[in-house]
Structure 1
């Protein structure tokens, strides 16, 4: 098939390589990702004001399936515009993507359909009411309603004290008109992604993302500094029934959206938290996670293009094959990331044993310039998380330049002891 991919981060690089194994790849890029360019038969650059040019590119090249990957582009309605032009698109339309682009809509769906895992929450457009709610709740998560790239959510006791939480909530109301405030939950977070045809789900292995910038899970939130998965498709520090409970929640969300006449077709991904006696929904996303997509695509032993076809034909409930391997991924970021990132050059030895996925960079496969966000991901497979961790750490010696990386990602000894 001829498959058109929109996006050019590390997540999209992993998608692109899997597509190119069996199909012709055509790409719509947001930056000059050297790996995606290498794997593409043709490519153009994304212009959010000219969706007509992207549709023309697809039509002129007789594209069989389009896949729109980044959340911001889904929010901008590109999938809708492609579908209007009779281009088959295995990504959610704008209204379905609201499960991510509007946190208030996600909580509304969970409350209306009494879906397990919801968190006590309220939405405010009045500063005094928000202040009173925070004061009464004491420990809260303060969230903008829309997209934040993983960086907008702040939690009392971690990022803010109660007075700072009030000020932050008021600032969001001033900027966006409303704010979502949720009860603070504590526990082990994990990600569960699934392919959806609107009625059925096929689940991917469980992944854990490391959001915080610094080792030991300190510092500001980021888009994700790295991630891990295990060979049994769960994680050794989760309870045995936790993944199944998360799967039931995602199935109920898909059923609810279908009942709302807003069927979700594409990739749905839940960010969950295992608390002392429950599984809670932190957020629901309308696309592959980044970096979580790289972990699952790195062990995918199936044809991603055919899976996209299954999304459109209603057949994702078939068994999708994955290698029985653990993975550890570490993102390399420029100095000053995420608030004041520098532009630096990074060189990659050809002798690297692990795989490199390219994100916010331009240049060649062995010499890139960072563009301000997460730069390159190093990922290794192993028979255990520890095995993959040691391989990944060793291969960091083949990366040269001024950058920051979290060395503790994949070292799960403390998690297992707890």
Structure 2
């Protein structure tokens, strides 16, 4: 079987790693990949947002299965393009991708189907959002609120404002932060209080299969301080959700969501991600994503024991309810190592040291923003690529150091021990993943 993975980050490296372990996969491609992915897959120089070129590639190369990582590709309709050509692909349709590509659409769908979420207001402009806040709709000057760009914003379009002044500042700066297109309309929400949980599932349009619950750490600074990022680390641990909470989420959120999608004409097939707040009133939806999270994927897939190809086929054939998916018992942790300057403009081009020493430990190192050093590329050309690769930083989030163990404390200890072997100038990471 020939498999194509679309994307270039740590999430896609983890997905590729699972496909590479399958005895059914004879050739693995990734478009457009990164330095680490190139070690296990043939990288293809096609951007993830060039959906027509990707479909052309899949047709010409007789790709049997394509798996989509990034939300932008889904929002652009890559699944619709592939399906129109009779190509097998895992991902949400353009219509279903609106659950993530438009915060306003998602909130309105929740309202239509009585899915518990925060009270909200959709403003068609920044000035309207300011007027709503100033009117006292969400409380007085000291009331915390959440400000969200309506469109896709690479994990940077959400600001949790401690008071009205900070919320007003967030509204005024949203266009500069995420781009005018993403901030053309703004969703303002009440600020929910509780513990955040992420719950991700495989879906086949009718049935679903849950993955281990995860908790992500979005802010750049320890103690959950500083600006939001795409994610600085994550854990999986079964204790994050009780059986009663899981059952309540299924009945009040998952089934109504999937039923709602089906009733509105876009049955959900692909990966559905629930960002949840466990409040005193029960679980409520913070956001939907329509793909694997990053870095949640890294921590989840290291625990997957069932062949990912088998799961994909069950999704495509509508028989997820007939497949028993095996997960390694225990816990996992992923620590993200980021470049200096992230989540703003990152410094890039620094040589990464210590990867060989870290790789000798019982961990996985997933590459997110790396490239082969220019000198290494030249050296490989001369000696037939026999030298150990040397990598440089090529993005904000660079590596996801991931460990799985029988308990969370051990998984964290192993991951941080490996982090201690790796370095480059300005490397930053949080030392409290799994502690907050």
Q: TM-score, normalised by structure 1?
A: 0.91
Matched, 1:386 2:405: no
1:319 Cα offset (Å):
2.2
How many angstroms does 1:30 deviate by? 3.3
Number of the residue aligned with 1:348:
354
Deviation at 1:2, TM superposition (A): 1.8
| Counterparts of 1:5 and 1:159, CA distance in 2 | 43
**CA deviation profile, 1:107-141 (whole Å, cap 9, x unmatched):** 111111112x2211111125554223213114321
Contact 1:349 1:366 in 2 (8 A): no
Superposition RMSD in Å: 2.2
Q: Which moved more, 1:294-303 or 1:164-173?
A: 164-173
Q: Distance in 2 between matches of 1:162 and 1:18?
A: 42
Checking the alignment, whether the CA contact within 8 Å between 1:134 and 1:165 is kept in structure 2 is: no
Mapping 1:264-413, distance limit 5 Å: 264-317=268-321, 318-343=323-348, 344-352=350-358, 353=361, 354-363=363-372, 367-402=390-425, 403-410=427-434, 412=435
Bigger drift between 119-128 and 261-270 goes to 119-128
Residue from 202, 205, 217 that aligns with 2:224: 217
The offset of 1:159, in angstroms, is 10
Given that 1:5 and 1:67 are in contact with CA atoms closer than 8 Å, whether structure 2 keeps it comes out as yes
| Alignment check: 8 A CA contact 1:3 1:66 kept | yes
- Determine helix, strand or coil for the equivalent of 2:320: coil
Pick from 142, 149, 154 the counterpart of residue 154 of structure 2. 149
> Structure 1 residues 49 and 100, CA, compared in 2 at 3 Å: closer, same or farther?
closer
2:62 matched to which residue of 1? 62
The residue number in structure 2 matching 1:134 is 133
TM (norm. structure 2) is 0.87
CA 1:351–1:274 in structure 2 vs 1: closer, same or farther (change >3 Å)? same
**Count of residue pairs brought into register by the alignment:** 405
Q: Is the contact between residue 19 and residue 28 of structure 2 (CA under 8 Å) also seen in structure 1?
A: no
Aligned pairs for 1:22-101 within 5 A: 22=22, 23-31=25-33, 33-40=34-41, 42-47=42-47, 50-101=50-101
* Counterpart Cα distance in 2 of 1:159 and 1:20: 50
Superposed, which structure 2 residues align to 1:129-278 within 5 Å? 129-135=128-134, 136=136, 137-138=138-139, 139-157=144-162, 161-168=166-173, 176-230=183-237, 233-235=238-240, 241-248=244-251, 249-278=253-282
Contact 2:367 2:400 in 1 (8 A): yes
Aligned residue for 2:131, secondary structure, equals helix
In structure 1, distance between residues paired with 2:179 and 2:353: 43
Q: Which runs of 4+ in 1 moved over 4 A?
A: 168-175
- Mapped to 1, the partners of 2:292 and 2:88 lie a distance apart of 19
Deviations for 1:12-35, whole angstroms, at most 9, x for unmatched residues?
Answer: 11110111112134324235x233
Unaligned runs of 5+ residues in structure 1 are none
CA offsets per residue over residues 231-286 of structure 1, 9 Å max, x none? xx342xx5553233223312221111011111111000000011123211110000
More displaced 10-residue stretch of structure 1: 295-304 or 77-86:
77-86
Query: Following the alignment from structure 1 to structure 2, what is the Cα–Cα distance between the partners of residues 208 and 49?
Result: 28
